[in-house]
Amino acid sequence: MNGLLHSLDKGYIRNTCTEHPSCRRILHTAYGGIRLYVNLVKKILYDLYS
């Protein structure tokens, strides 16, 4: 995932997404969802191994 993001031109992403509010909302939601998922996995692993 990080490799994909780094291979894309950051300036292009910034320019396109700041012009389109819906694109920004999608990115923000996806980022929030990924963080929620990671936290959930951490909690499950912590509960399993503690």
pLDDT in tens, 17-43: 566 777 778 777 888 888 999 999 999
DSSP-derived 3-state class of residue 9: coil
If one counts the domains in the chain, the total is: 1
Give the count of alpha carbons within 13 A of 6, CB side only: 3
Per the structure, the complete domain to which residue 39 belongs is given by 2-49
Q: Is the pLDDT of residue 6 over 60?
A: no
How high is the pLDDT of residue 44? 93
How high is the pLDDT of residue 30? 81
Task: Answer with the residue of higher pLDDT: 12 or 25.
Answer: 25
